[in-house]
Chains A and B, each alone.
Chain A
Amino acid sequence: MSTSESRFNLYHYAAPQAFYPVAGKLAPAFAVIALLLTAIGLWISFFKAPTDAVQGEVYRIIFIHVPAAWMSMFVFLVMAFWSAIGLAMNTRLSALMAQALAPTGAMFCFVALWTGALWGRPTWGAYWVWDARLTSQLLLLFLYLGYMALVAAIDDPRRRDKAGAILCLVGAVNVPIIYFSVKWWNTLHQGASVSLTKAPSMATIMLSGMLVMALAAWAYTIAVALYRVRVLILERERHADWVRGELARLGEAN
């Protein structure tokens, strides 16, 4: 093992104590990237992207709505990934990462639903339709809330991590089943339902605005998750010496 010590070792950062300072360095960097990308994305969406021929100005909600919807689904996958790693390798940090990601995922889920409602009202004439995508997004929000409620209800940290991980994996197995069943249910019930598919050809500038906003959402998620995991690490390791030292340092800084 002496030869590998000099080389970069990823497993080294699986220890909360080792990851804590790294997260402290990475989080502000990603926060800055998120701010920059959001500024560029908003500039493209409001000043560069042309007015839509069919929907007028209201389509601009897409620049928030679609990145939020993408992110809400992707974050659940990342949580499932960390849960699987945590169960398989018995690492504490993995479960903490999943727990740090959950509130952000739920927030994006809610934002996607909320902006969807605001967008639906002028374009379809209703805040809510039982469309397959909307319904599965709503159920995804329930899965997030269930995960957060279960994690919050368990006091013992070991049990909290593992029970949360199992629920996350059970949820991840069920997400595609829920999506396809809801889709089928919807098409069976309402012959011609509201289609969410956009106009076939999307202006390149619109697409690029959406992609920049999506990247901003990524950077924001990473930054917030890292900030949150730092707090979780301090809370979990509060009996360790290094945390006492760190807390004393933070106390002096304020």
Chain B
Amino acid sequence: MSAFSAILRRDMLLAWRSRADLLISLAFFVIVGCLFPFGVGAEPNQLRAIGPGVLWVAALLSCLLSLHRLFAQDHQDGTLEQMLLSPDPTVLWILAKVLAHWLTTAVPLLLITPLMALLFDLEGGAIQVLTASLAIGTPILSLIGAVGAALTLGLRGGGALLALLILPLFVPVLIFGAGSVDAYLAGTGASAHMLLLGGGVLGALALSPIACAAALRISTE
């Protein structure tokens, strides 16, 4: 467990030292969200209808933007190879890195989501459901995204390639995440969506670190 906490502490510290990067993906989330009223018009009913979906898409893109940082720096300075050589289980420290990624990119986004939801005139209950769905859904994005980041490590055109690989896989998360708010507003309750997202977290937690470890070994050999 010491490797897990050591990597987690190190990545959190590194993220804190370069906190401008974190603010950039947060600002990206805010700006993408703000663009939609200009595009589709500021009619309140329409904004209420598209709000949850728009904020989910913005969160997804903002996550994508920060994913390439997950392994890139460690790959450049050779730390990654040393970590792969270490006797600690690879899956363990990958989980620590993914957790650090989630804590530093998704959690700030969760904190600002209620504020963004007000721009789309969402009511209190819907804001709670939206924030909860993001809280449960974003770990899946980090976990699946880690596999993509490991596969595209150090490739030319890595950012656009990562988007092409990962975005189709994010579709189910988007469907259930944005769908939870719609279900709540329609009166059927969001629990089914939340449970499916929770199942998705557990499934991704079990499978994606293994795929990520294999991908990292391939990318560094």
Residues of A in contact with B (beta carbons under 8 Å apart)? 87, 139, 142-143, 145-146, 149-150, 153-154, 158-159, 162-163, 166-167, 169-171, 173-174, 177-178, 181-182, 184-185, 188-189
On whether the beta carbons of B171 and A178 are closer than 8 Å, the reply is: yes
Does B11 sit within 8 A of A, measured CB to CB? no
Q: With A163-B151, A166-B218 given, is the CB distance from A182 to B161 under 8 Å?
A: no
* Chain A residues whose CB sits within 8 angstroms of the CB of B165 once the complex forms: 146, 149-150, 167
On whether the beta carbons of A153 and B221 are closer than 8 Å, the reply is: no
On whether the beta carbons of A143 and B168 are closer than 8 Å, the reply is: yes
The closest CB in chain B to the CB of A87 belongs to B214
Taken residue by residue from 138 to 176, chain B's Cβ proximity to chain A (1 for < 8 Å, 0 otherwise) reads as 000000000100011001110001001101110110011
Q: With A166-B211, A181-B175, A181-B176 given, is the CB distance from A159 to B221 under 8 Å?
A: yes
On whether the beta carbons of A150 and B175 are closer than 8 Å, the reply is: no
CA distance in complex: A174, B172 (Å): 9
On whether the beta carbons of A182 and B218 are closer than 8 Å, the reply is: no
Does B72 sit within 8 A of A, measured CB to CB? no
CA distance in complex: A159, B157 (Å): 16
Residues of B in contact with A (beta carbons under 8 Å apart)? 147, 151-152, 155-157, 161, 164-165, 167-169, 171-172, 175-176, 179, 182-183, 207, 211, 214-215, 218-219, 221
Give the shortest distance, in Å, between A105 (CB) and chain B (any CB).
Answer: 15
* Chain B residues whose CB sits within 8 angstroms of the CB of A159 once the complex forms: 218-219, 221
On whether the beta carbons of A181 and B171 are closer than 8 Å, the reply is: yes
On whether the beta carbons of B171 and A139 are closer than 8 Å, the reply is: yes
Choose among A87, A163, A174, A185 the residue that contacts B175 (Cβ–Cβ < 8 A): A185
On whether the beta carbons of A146 and B218 are closer than 8 Å, the reply is: no
On whether the beta carbons of A166 and B157 are closer than 8 Å, the reply is: no
On whether the beta carbons of B221 and A158 are closer than 8 Å, the reply is: yes
Interface secondary structure of A, over-half rule = helix
CA distance in complex: A170, B176 (Å): 20
Choose among B156, B164, B171, B182 the residue that contacts A146 (Cβ–Cβ < 8 A): B164
Q: With A142-B167, A188-B182 given, is the CB distance from A167 to B207 under 8 Å?
A: no
CA distance in complex: A185, B176 (Å): 8
User: Can you list 24 residue pairs at the A/B interface with Cβ under 8 Å?
Assistant: A87-B214, A139-B168, A146-B165, A146-B168, A153-B155, A158-B218, A158-B221, A163-B151, A163-B215, A163-B218, A163-B219, A166-B147, A166-B211, A166-B215, A166-B218, A167-B151, A167-B165, A169-B211, A174-B172, A178-B169, A181-B171, A181-B175, A188-B179, A188-B182
On whether the beta carbons of B147 and A170 are closer than 8 Å, the reply is: yes
* Chain A residues whose CB sits within 8 angstroms of the CB of B172 once the complex forms: 174, 177-178, 181-182
On whether the beta carbons of B183 and A174 are closer than 8 Å, the reply is: no
Which 9 residue pairs of A and B lie closest in terms of their CB atoms, listed nearest first? A181-B172, A142-B168, A185-B175, A162-B218, A146-B165, A146-B164, A181-B175, A153-B155, A139-B168
Give the shortest distance, in Å, between A212 (CB) and chain B (any CB).
Answer: 33
The closest CB in chain B to the CB of A159 belongs to B218
The closest CB in chain A to the CB of B164 belongs to A146
Most B Cβ at <10 Å: residue of A167, A170, A177: A170
* Chain A residues whose CB sits within 8 angstroms of the CB of B211 once the complex forms: 166, 169-170
Choose among B157, B171, B214 the residue that contacts A153 (Cβ–Cβ < 8 A): B157
CA distance in complex: A146, B219 (Å): 17
Q: A167-B165, A178-B171, A182-B175 are in contact. List 6 more A-B contacts (CB 8 A).
A: A139-B168, A146-B164, A149-B161, A149-B165, A150-B165, A166-B211
Give the shortest distance, in Å, between B209 (CB) and chain A (any CB).
Answer: 12
CA distance in complex: A109, B83 (Å): 41
CA distance in complex: A181, B137 (Å): 14
